[in-house]
Amino acid sequence: MKAEIVSIGDELLVGQTVNNNAAFIGRLMSEINVDVQWLTSVGDNLERMQSALEAAWNRVDLVLTTGGLGPTHDDITKDALCRFFGVDYTFHTEIVDEIKSRFDARGMEMPDIVRNQGLIPTGAELIRNELGSAFGIRFQRAGKVLIAMPGVPFEMERMMTDSVVPYIRTLTGDDTILIRKIKTTGIIESKLVTVFKRLNDVRALADVAVLPKVTGVELRLTVRSLDPDDARIRMNSALSMTQEDIGEWIVAVGEDTLEEILGRELSSRGYTVSVAESCTGGLLADRLTSVPGSSRYFMGGIVSYSNEIKEKILGVPETLLDKAGAVSVEVAEAMAAGIRDAMKTDFGVSTTGIAGPGGGTPSKPVGLAFIAVAGPQGIVSDRVMFNINREMNKQRFAQAALNLLRRKLLKNSTA
Amino acid sequence: MKAEIVSIGDELLVGQTVNNNAAFIGRLMSEINVDVQWLTSVGDNLERMQSALEAAWNRVDLVLTTGGLGPTHDDITKDALCRFFGVDYTFHTEIVDEIKSRFDARGMEMPDIVRNQGLIPTGAELIRNELGSAFGIRFQRAGKVLIAMPGVPFEMERMMTDSVVPYIRTLTGDDTILIRKIKTTGIIESKLVTVFKRLNDVRALADVAVLPKVTGVELRLTVRSLDPDDARIRMNSALSMTQEDIGEWIVAVGEDTLEEILGRELSSRGYTVSVAESCTGGLLADRLTSVPGSSRYFMGGIVSYSNEIKEKILGVPETLLDKAGAVSVEVAEAMAAGIRDAMKTDFGVSTTGIAGPGGGTPSKPVGLAFIAVAGPQGIVSDRVMFNINREMNKQRFAQAALNLLRRKLLKNSTA
């Protein structure tokens, strides 16, 4: 099945918004074997939108649009659809009722303009929007399909996952498609492909995409087959070869994030954790608490930018700060032990380093960090060195710290 | 001048790469008054590339392509250009010589395949690539222009800035274009356009784009004029009408983030700040410390998931926690005051709420949060209620807290 994504909005053309929506849809489509051949972006202009819809409708089987479904004056996608399919509007009271009940639940008055959201091109199927007021629209004509979604990313993403992908699956047939993400950390792409000796053998079994991300290189294995058993066998062989070659750097197989894996590991074993952050500035706590239910095992954290707090709350000795310096393996270990004590948790994790762009010295340059994990069986620590920019440095320091916790937990379980 | 950006590469269609290049080019074009009307992405497929070039060439005056200029087998943009303009290749020894001398300078051998980079469609002008081996290509025919650039972002960006933009400026003349972003927070789009009484008057002076983002609605005003004074006057009138109508919700005019504005405000006035977070789980500290130099005014923070820490480190009375509950305006205020004392800062900011998806009750549902700011002149607090999902709830709670700090700082300065 051939597809085109048509993204609507002036903000895309002037570069105010990067088209992450198209990338998200493209990824999901490639996973279900839909061949996206074109991405087109047009502005909020009726004539060009018409012309984009026409070109897309003529050259592919499935057209997915995002944007322009809001209630305001410059949202004209529905007008364009009415013209394109030669239909008028039908007013759907049930949409307005549902949206109004959501406003009511929040104790807010629904602005009048929102009533426009009840107007839907006649003959279109509705796609519920759980998170916003712009419902999706689906047209089916002569074996082709057009689906219009809102441009707000989280609304579109939920709609894609819950409704659009399952619907398209009913059209594309029953190929078994297995996809596994393999997330690595702590190794660069060019090194990874070198140590991955059997990469070509794996490629014979599965499509392999290699994606460098800020927190590590991600592999994506895709197996397609008409026979589900064959698909499963091929995926399992590909996975076990991958595990054997590069298992040391793999933090996750599947969609789970490192913090979700840690969360499961910690809560299933009844462990608690706390963090003491300097160079990661709250990001470590933020990532750990992004997991629903994290309050069961995450007791709290301290962001200690000042030395005074390192001393007072974490009990890092002043002499150590003077002698080794705040950015040192000794202070990292003292911080991990200190937060573990202060918060009375099983594990304490710490980071101290120089995120930059300022604050570096020849012996302690920007990008240097020390991380430590204190646990029931002692303290481990590590030195890491990255330098891209402040934001990415923070991200990679946090990733390294979470990964050190993961390794420590693994060791604990085998001890 | 009307333009189209044609982005070439399979990686765009399957969402492996987000099209940041198109956004970059779009931004530069909008700044020099080139009206980008279409963005098109196609894969590494000769037939579809031809058809994309043809469509673009017919509907605009300027076509900018990125990607497919490398030396390998799947780089076929130059083939497509030869076919499209009906020309053959000319071999440019000077290109290969220059690239070879760069390899020599780094003590490296030039791989044979790189010689392909000397092949350029006959009749094209060359655009030097300072940072890579794929030179840019420019065709001029019948008053129209096509410029092909490499897809590697930093190579393309340098080429745009150094060569392409100055060249296009020679074609477009000297219109003045002014662009201002206006970031709001705490008000939804449909309400904003309702309270923005003079939106139509502003639209008469400037183009207005309205973009809902997770942390608030963003407006973008664009004024174009042949007369720079006229442009300035129109922008100033548009901005002051906007300020008068919706100033209450405006957090920034320009590119600055809320945390950057706070950083400037705090450091210029010699103030320090600390945070006590419950429901935002470290995100508040993470955002404040994302600003380079934030260690000057950000002393630290505490993520207090457990009540014990709220009591022990923040000094929130146990009786208050029992009586009002951890999620209450009283506890938010006590946390803000407590962290201000503990960290000896001028301001203390706190959040306590229910990020979800679990933990809600009928009287304290998921999405409810209390935020407070303690300062030299007392404490202010606010109640907020959002519910989308855990991640977004955290984001919006943090935004509301930073915004409360901003308001408190403004009041302090006028007091």
Measured distance CA(A373)–CA(A378) in Å, rounded: 8
Q: A168 and A180, same structural domain?
A: no
Q: A296 and A410, same structural domain?
A: yes
In the listed set A172, A204, A227, which residue is the last one of a domain according to the structure?
A172
In the listed set A206, A223, A253, which residue is the last one of a domain according to the structure?
A253
| Pairwise pLDDT comparison (B356 vs A387), residue with the higher score | B356
Q: A17 and A161, same structural domain?
A: yes
**Residues of chain B numbered 284-313 and touching chain A (CB < 8 Å):** 284-290, 292-295, 298-306, 308-309, 313
Kindly report the CATH number assigned to the domain that includes residue A191. Answer: 3.30.70.2860
- Is A161 within 8 Å of chain B by CB? no
Chain A contact set for B275 (CB, 8 A): 303
Which of B33, B46, B187, B303 is the mutation pick for testing A, counting most A CBs within 10 A? B303
- Is A358 within 8 Å of chain B by CB? yes
Kindly report the CATH number assigned to the domain that includes residue B153. Answer: 3.40.980.10
Q: B204 and B95, same structural domain?
A: no
Average pLDDT over residues B385-403: 93
Sheet holding B273-277, edge to edge: A378-385, A368-375, A347-353, A273-277, A298-304, B298-304, B273-277, B347-353, B368-375, B378-385
What is the domain extent for residue B328? 258-414
Q: A368 and A239, same structural domain?
A: no
Q: Which residue of B has its CA nearest to A313?
A: B313
Chain A contact set for B309 (CB, 8 A): 299-300, 343
The ipTM of this complex is 0.78
The residue ranges of chain A whose pLDDT is under 70 are 174, 413-415
What is the pLDDT, as a whole number, of residue B303?
96
- How many Cβ atoms from other residues are within 10 Å of residue A206's Cβ? 24
- Kindly report, residue by residue over B76-97, the tens digit of the pLDDT: 999 999 999 999 999 999 999 9
Q: A142 and A31, same structural domain?
A: yes
- Is A165 within 8 Å of chain B by CB? no
Q: B304 and B168, same structural domain?
A: no
What is the pLDDT, as a whole number, of residue A415?
41
Q: Are B256 and B411 within 8 A, CB to CB? A: no
Q: B284 and B204, same structural domain?
A: no
Q: Which helix (H) or strand (E) holds B286?
A: helix B283-288
What is the pLDDT, as a whole number, of residue B213?
84
Q: Are A274 and A298 within 8 A, CB to CB? A: yes
> Residue B414: pLDDT above 60?
no
- Kindly report, residue by residue over A62-107, the tens digit of the pLDDT: 999 999 999 888 899 999 999 999 999 999 999 999 999 999 988 8
Kindly report the CATH number assigned to the domain that includes residue B357. Answer: 3.90.950.20
DSSP codes joined into one string, B103-165: HHHTT-PPPGGGGGGGEEETTPEEE--SSSS--EEEEEETTEEEEEE-SSHHHHHHHIIIIIH
Q: A246 and A150, same structural domain?
A: no
- Is A176 within 8 Å of chain B by CB? no
Average model confidence (pLDDT) for chain B? 92
In the listed set B208, B233, B253, which residue is the last one of a domain according to the structure?
B253
Q: Give the gap in angstroms from C-alpha A36 to the nearest C-alpha of chain B.
A: 6
What is the pLDDT, as a whole number, of residue B413?
63
What is the pLDDT, as a whole number, of residue A413?
64
Average pLDDT over residues B21-32: 92
Chain B contact set for A19 (CB, 8 A): 18-19, 22-23, 39
- Cβ of A26 within 8 Å of Cβ of B14? The answer is yes
Single pTM value for the model: 0.79
Q: B234 and B146, same structural domain?
A: no
Map residue A370 onto helix, strand or coil. strand
Q: A318 and A280, same structural domain?
A: yes
**Residues of chain B numbered 28-57 and touching chain A (CB < 8 Å):** 28-30, 36-43, 45, 48, 52, 55
Q: Are B44 and B8 within 8 A, CB to CB? A: yes
Q: B164 and B294, same structural domain?
A: no
Chain A contact set for B25 (CB, 8 A): 15
| Count of domains forming chain A | 3
Percent of chain A with pLDDT over 90: 77
Paired tokens of B210: 């309205």
Q: Give the gap in angstroms from C-alpha A387 to the nearest C-alpha of chain B.
A: 14
